[in-house]
Amino acid sequence: MTPSFKRRHLGLLLMGVLGSSLAWAQTAPGAYPSKPIRMIVPLAAGSAVDNAARIVAQKMGQNMGQAIVIENQPGAAGLIGAGNVAKAAPDGYTLGGFNDSIMTMLPNLQPKMPWDILKDFEPVSLVATVEWGLVVGADAPQRSAADLISSARAAPGKINYGSGGNGSPQHIAMALFASQSGVNMTHVPYKGATQAAMGVAGNEVQAAFQGIATVNSLVRAGKLRLVGVTTPRRMPQFADVPTVSESGLPGFEFNSWFALMAPAGTPKAIVQTLHAEVAKALADPEVREKLIAQGLSPRGTSPDELGKAMRAQLARYGALIKQAGITAE
């Protein structure tokens, strides 16, 4: 073996080692993220989940050194946007900002789902719960949930309520409200929660259940009246607004989730990195203050805890939807 051959052989060997090391470095957990991350929110801009996603994603992006870009893909109660997350490359650069309607309501309403929430996604973290309220138009005669029940009983089918679409949380919440109070109201689905809220403000429909984060600015601006909250106790920021439970429907409670999900097959190291970044963002006092001001309760869970909560909620909503006779049509 000649010296020149040995030098060439050693050079090729070193190049191979260097190439392998570079490839490993590019895919190692410490190298993630190396470019901006896309977060698909299958809901309209301005919705409760969208507001929460923007608050948390901004802080996560600052901490990670890469922007997290929110991409709203509303329509079909979230089926389309969630499907695009399911089909995305499992590399950590496409995430889903989902509400529990997408994760646990739709699978109980749609006979043929284009994706499986338990098989096609990796849970990352429950980020926040969205507290809810009952809203009517600013000039509406109703001042409480009891007033709405009385109006609906006096005119069966004449009270229209808006939602973000068939099978959306707004639809489920009002259908449960109507079922438990024994009233008949007419459902008017919109393309998203924000549009439904504007429908109430514009007197196109008479009422809606909405995430406080979605309607907070409209209530503060006097364009909507908040007549009830669905929390067990009154909310400090709306101390003069009674709970639905104390104002016409004892025991009625409702909230929804904002959770971060990734496509199935996303490496566990990346999932853990994202989970840690969510926890870090939620620990920031300014982030917590912004979320709470929007009517959101910061949470943060492990991927396993989110997975268990999803399974439990799937079973719970399955029973409630069947009992109330709710359909997606």
| Most confident residue range from 208-217, 236-245, 275-284 | 275-284
- Torsion-angle region of 318 (φ positive above 0: left; ψ -120 to 50: alpha; else: beta): alpha
Mean pLDDT throughout 93-119?
91
Beta-carbon-side half-sphere exposure of residue 76 (alpha carbons within 13 Å)? 11
Domain with CATH 3.40.190.150 in the chain: 35-129+256-324
- Please give the DSSP secondary-structure letter assigned to residue 168: S
The stretch 182-189 carries a mean pLDDT of 94
Provide the pLDDT confidence category of residue 166 given band limits of 50, 70 and 90.
confident
Least Cα distance to 158 among 198, 206, 201, 195 occurs for 206
According to DSSP, the β-strands at 296-298 and 121-137 are antiparallel
For residue 289, the tally of other CB atoms under 10 A from its CB is 12
CA-wise closest residue to 43 among 195, 230, 183: 195
**What per-residue confidence (pLDDT) applies to 11?**
45
- Confidence at 328, pLDDT banded by 50, 70, 90: low
Residue 3: pLDDT over 60: no
Residue 165 confidence class, pLDDT cut points 50, 70, 90: confident
CA–CA distance from 12 to each of 8, 18, 22, 23 (Å)? 6, 10, 15, 16
Query: Which residues of the chain does CATH 3.40.190.10 include?
Result: 131-238
Say which residue, 54 or 193, is predicted with more confidence: 54
Q: Judge whether residue 155 has pLDDT over 70.
A: yes
Q: Which pLDDT tens digit goes with each residue over 263-303? A: 999 999 999 999 999 999 999 999 999 998 888 889 999 99
- Residue 16, pLDDT > 50, answer no
Query: Which of 31-35, 135-139, 178-182, 271-275 bottoms out in mean pLDDT, i.e. has the lowest?
Result: 178-182
CATH number of 35-129+256-324: 3.40.190.150
Provide Rg for the chain, Cα atoms.
Answer: 23
Interatomic CA distance for residues 274 and 288, integer angstroms: 18
**pLDDT for the residue 214:** 86
Query: Strand 121-137 vs strand 94-99: parallel, antiparallel, or unpaired?
Result: unpaired
The 10s digit of each residue's pLDDT in 80-91 is 999 999 999 999
Dist. CA 326–CA 249, nearest whole Å: 19
- Tell me the whole-structure pTM to 2 decimals: 0.74
Would you state the pLDDT for residue 110? 85
**Domain 131-238 superfamily per CATH:** Periplasmic binding protein-like II (3.40.190.10)
Higher-confidence residue of 44 and 274: namely: 274
As a whole number of angstroms, the longest Cα–Cα distance in the chain is: 101
Nearest C-alpha neighbor of 53 from the set 38, 39, 37, 67:
39
pLDDT higher than threshold 80 for residue 139: yes
| Residue spans of beta strands (DSSP E) within 48-158 | 68-72, 94-99, 121-137
